[in-house]
Structure 1
């Protein structure tokens, strides 16, 4: 290499370095962003994404395009983002199923929920509701626990299938209350509701949007919510944690990018998301979906992810839970 060629090469390298990740992040975004939803259109995660997309796009100054990539319980879409380019133009709206529960149920997943992603921020939390038949003698969470303790193995709970968040919510409840209650899996909670109403099933931990209407029309009784504290989504209902301190089981929603996402991009998206989550229109849409807006920093989200993974890993191992 001649001295002249070396000088040209050096100047070119310096020029290119000026357009590295940090420089690109300062002008980010300059084009549409794809928000991958690893679940089918019309589901809770998809509706959440569409409730956020327009306002979040406005805050970022570009279009935010929701792209449904369902399959394998959210694994396919999540893996697509994990293996994507870390430039901030392909993001993921993930849930506890894809990043807290799934990896602990299936150690052979194609991605590592920690190493292969960059957490951007938690954006929502969906608590469940503890439902019993109107014929149940239990009027409170404590009364139901007392009833189950007096009748070990004689009461049952319904779920939407093995390894689902509905089963894990009940198993966490059983573990903390030290109960022996039989599991009856259904192919979805909607199929369990008639048996719950008739008293063939003793308890069900259902989502608020699907469970609360049955309470309002008088078909079922609600005893409590699974969030750490009382929620405005179900006014008047106590948190189960008031009886079982530390109890919490919710479906969280969060934004991720591939590993190596530039910190400037993470902060830009996180700040925009936090602003959107205070928008009254967005809050109203999420409330109708049974979701509380959360927000917070990437560090807080990372800490929550570690806590959730450890909690479900322990329950899955102790209770020998497997997926269908």
Structure 2
């Protein structure tokens, strides 16, 4: 039996709408909602909420406006949501939300000012090498790194990104020394990988899979604890040579803590209801996203566990924000 993922363990509950008090819940929202995305337009997190927004608006009886507030690894937009004082503001976050407390010791907001609303999706990363690489599998990569300490390079989209952290955790668990090569975004990183200037990368399935399908990259494994739905024949890193390894880049919705519980529960029900829709699931699959099981309670537990996990990785590897 494959090792269960931390996400599955903490969020094993079905996508079911919670019971809420109708009178209080139905009074909210009283006007259009604002959803802050703390990253630029065009990324997976932005695409997710824009896919969900029409269904959520229909379920809630009010439209959702998406507002991109990028900068400082997501902390600027997160601060804006935490300090909004507005019961009609929500926040979409990624795994970076659990990493940032370790990367930014003086965050401009208190994590307790935000509470879980609903899990949304996971977008797996793939461990990939150029098609011409002599490295054929995960065990071969570990062996090569052991033969030449520091000689194997791995590209990332920047310091502290999930792509970087996936490589740092891999090196730590394998007990090898690999050289991190940060870029300003996934695009230039994968361009150098395709050219053979770096040895490997733990890239998002969204950007890596087309190059794998086109024969320009070789996928060695998925970083997730469970196999990626987009590539079910591909083993996980844990299955392929590093038991216990798991990096599940997740995305979720939070709210300022002063949003009343009935309102949070209504939003949770709307999100989980949208994720059950076959059309929405198909659209998410088109950007490499897999709906994440669970509810607000399991998401709150996941955030706490991930915050502890990545603090250890960041400290051990000496990772600093760009």
TM-score, normalised to structure 2, is 0.88
Q: Match for residue 105 of structure 1?
A: 103
Counterpart selection for 2:120 from 116, 119, 123: 123
Give 5+ residue unaligned stretches, structure 1.
Answer: 1-20
Q: Match for residue 14 of structure 2?
A: none
Q: Match for residue 298 of structure 1?
A: 296
- Map Cα deviations across residues 138-182 of structure 1 (whole Å, 9 max, x no partner): 222122212222222221111122222211110011111111111
- Aligned partners of 2:153, 2:124: CA distance in 1, in Å? 21
- Aligned partners of 2:150, 2:65: CA distance in 1, in Å? 49
Q: Match for residue 27 of structure 2?
A: 27
Q: Match for residue 46 of structure 1?
A: 46
Q: Match for residue 159 of structure 2?
A: 162
Q: Match for residue 89 of structure 2?
A: 90
- Map Cα deviations across residues 67-125 of structure 1 (whole Å, 9 max, x no partner): 222233322221111012353x111111122x111221001110122x11011111111
- Aligned partners of 1:194, 1:71: CA distance in 2, in Å? 24
Contact kept in structure 2, 1:22 and 1:262, CA below 8 Å:
no
- Map Cα deviations across residues 19-60 of structure 1 (whole Å, 9 max, x no partner): xx9964452223221111122222222111101100111122
Q: Match for residue 13 of structure 1?
A: none
- Aligned partners of 2:149, 2:81: CA distance in 1, in Å? 46
Q: CA deviation at 1:304?
A: 0.6
Counterpart selection for 1:142 from 139, 143, 147: 139
Change (3 A) 1:278 1:58: same
Q: CA deviation at 1:318?
A: 0.6
Q: Match for residue 199 of structure 1?
A: 196
Q: Match for residue 16 of structure 1?
A: none
Higher relative contact order (CA 8 A, sep 6+): 2
- In the comparison of the two structures, how many residue pairs are matched? 301
Which structure 2 residues correspond to residues 303-314 of structure 1 after superposition, within 5 A? Answer: 303-314=301-312
TM-score, normalised to structure 1, is 0.88
Flag as ranges the 4+ runs of structure 1 deviating above 4 A: 21-24
Does 2:168 correspond to 1:188? Answer: no
- Aligned partners of 1:263, 1:120: CA distance in 2, in Å? 10
Q: CA deviation at 1:192?
A: 2.5
- Aligned partners of 1:66, 1:198: CA distance in 2, in Å? 37
Counterpart selection for 2:250 from 237, 249, 252: 252
- Aligned partners of 2:45, 2:191: CA distance in 1, in Å? 26
Query: How much is the aligned-residue C-alpha RMSD, in angstroms?
Result: 1.8
Q: Match for residue 232 of structure 1?
A: 229
Describe the SS at the equivalent of 1:174.
Answer: helix
Q: CA deviation at 1:62?
A: 1.8
